C-alpha cells in the first residue's frame, strides 16, 4: 500500500515511527507492506515513487526540522496540494494541524484525494467537525474509504468499535471525557488542591498543555470530538456551532474540595443525545468509569441492547494516535483483499 503522509509534526512522525517499528510484523501477519511515497511539511516535500526510508525521514526531520532536506528526494517549496499530483499513491494520511475556523487546508487536501479516487485516513478533527456531511458524501460518491478513528480520543477505540462491535445496537447517547489536557488539570487540582492557573502552568511546562491552551480548556476541542461522534455513530447532522460549550477555566480549588467532600470529582464531560449536544464541567462519582485520571479519555455509549458500554484509552501522544491511524489503514487493506 503506497502511503502519502501530509503533515510531519508529532502525529505524522508518530505514523512513520509506527511503520518503522511494525513493518516486518505487518508483512508477516497481514501480507501488508506500507510504502511511504511522499511526506510533506511547511518546508516542502520528500517524494519518491519507489518509497522513502522511515528511519531516514525521522532522522532528517530531527536534524534539520525540514522534510525537504531528505537526501536526493527532498523538494523545497513543493506545497502539499502540488505534491498530490506528483506521485502515485493509494491512501492519503492527512495529519496537518487542526483548523477549527474553516477546516483548511486539510479539507481541500482530503477532497482532492477523494476526487482522485484515493482512500483517506485522518486524525484532523477540524474538517470533520465543520464539514462532516460533505466529506463523507464525497468519499461515498467516489467509492473510496474515509476513516478517522484517530480524530477522537487518540488511542481510545470508539468509532470503529461502535460501527463493528455494536453494529446491532441503536446508540442512544454518548458521554465522556474527550480531552486529555483538561482531565490532567482537573485531576491534579483534585489531588493537590492547587489553583487552576498554577496547574495549567505546570501542564504547559510538561508539554501536556499547549502554549495557547484555549481550545482545550474552554472546551472547543472536546466539542469538535463530540460532533464527530454524534455524526458518525448516531447519524446526527450537526456541526461545531451546534454545541453548547463551557470550559474549565473558572473551576476553583474550593469547588473541587466541596465536590470531593461529597464523594464526587469535577470532570469536563461531552455529551451527545437526541436532546443534548453539550460540553461542560460536571460532577462524576468517585470510583465510576468516568473518574479516570491524568490524560486518559473515556466514553460511555448507551445502547438499546447492550446497555452501557464504556471504552478507555490514552487521549494523547504521537505513537498512541498513530496506532489508531494504523488500525484504519489495516482495515482498508483487509477490505480490499
Catalytic residue set: 225
Bridge partners of 44? 41, 76
DSSP 46: E
113: cell is 484525494
Q: Sort 304 into a burial class: Cβ within 10 Å, 0-12 / 13-18 / 19+.
A: exposed
Extract the runs of DSSP E, i.e. beta strands, from the chain.
2-6, 35-41, 44-47, 74-76, 91-94, 119-122, 146-147, 171-177, 244-245, 264-273, 277-285, 296-303, 308-314
Q: 291 by DSSP, 3-state: which?
A: coil
Instruction: Provide the 8-state DSSP code for 102.
Output: T
146-147/119-122 β-pairing: parallel
Give the residue among 315, 248, 309 at the shortest CA–CA distance from 282: 248
Q: Is 150 exposed, middle or buried (0-12, 13-18, 19+ CB in 10 A)?
A: buried
DSSP state of 285: E
Amino acid at each position: 500500500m503506497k502511503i502519502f503522509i501530509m503533515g510531519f509534526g508529532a502525529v505524522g512522525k508518530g505514523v512513520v515511527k509506527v511503520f518503522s517499528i511494525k513493518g516486518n510484523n505487518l508483512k508477516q501477519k497481514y501480507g501488508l507492506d506500507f510504502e511511504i511515497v511522499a511526506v510533506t511539511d511547511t518546508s516542502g516535500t520528500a517524494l519518491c515513487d519507489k518509497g522513502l526510508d522511515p528511519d531516514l525521514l525521522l532522522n532528517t526531520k530531527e536534524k534539520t526540522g525540514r522534510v525537504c532536506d531528505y537526501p536526493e528526494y527532498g523538494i523545497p517549496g513543493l506545497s502539499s496540494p502540488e505534491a498530490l499530483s506528483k506521485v502515485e499513491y493509494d491512501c492519503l494520511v492527512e495529519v496537518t494541524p487542526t483548523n477549527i475556523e474553516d477546516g483548511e487546508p486539510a479539507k481541500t487536501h482530503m477532497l482532492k484525494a477523494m476526487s482522485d479516487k484515493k482512500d483517506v485516513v485522518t486524525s484532523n478533527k477540524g474538517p470533520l467537525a465543520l464539514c462532516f456531511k460533505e466529506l463523507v458524501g464525497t468519499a461515498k460518491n467516489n467509492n473510496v474509504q474515509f476513516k478517522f478513528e484517530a480524530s477522537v480520543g487518540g488511542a481510545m477505540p470508539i468509532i470503529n468499535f461502535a460501527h463493528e462491535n455494536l453494529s446491532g445496537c441503536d446508540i442512544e447517547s454518548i458521554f465522556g471525557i474527550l480531552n486529555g489536557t483538561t482531565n490532567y488539570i482537573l485531576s491534579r487540582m483534585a489531588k493537590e488542591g492547587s489553583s487552576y492557573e498554577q496547574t495549567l502552568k505546570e501542564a504547559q511546562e510538561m508539554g501536556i498543555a499547549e502554549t495557547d491552551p484555549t481550545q482545550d480548556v474552554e472546551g472547543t476541542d472536546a466539542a469538535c470530538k463530540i460532533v464527530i461522534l454524534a455524526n458518525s455513530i448516531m447519524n446526527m447532522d450537526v456541526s461545531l456551532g451546534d454545541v453548547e460549550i463551557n470550559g474549565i477555566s473558572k473551576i476553583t480549588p474550593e469547588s473541587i474540595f466541596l465536590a470531593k467532600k461529597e464523594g464526587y470529582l469535577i470532570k469536563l464531560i461531552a455529551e451527545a443525545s437526541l436532546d443534548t449536544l453539550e460540553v461542560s464541567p460536571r460532577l462524576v462519582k468517585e470510583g465510576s468509569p468516568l473518574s479516570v485520571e491524568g490524560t486518559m479519555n473515556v466514553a460511555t455509549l448507551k445502547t438499546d441492547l447492550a446497555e452501557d458500554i464504556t471504552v478507555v484509552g490514552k487521549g494523547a501522544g504521537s505513537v498512541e494516535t498513530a496506532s489508531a491511524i494504523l488500525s484504519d489503514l489495516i482495515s482498508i487493506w483487509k477490505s480490499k483483499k
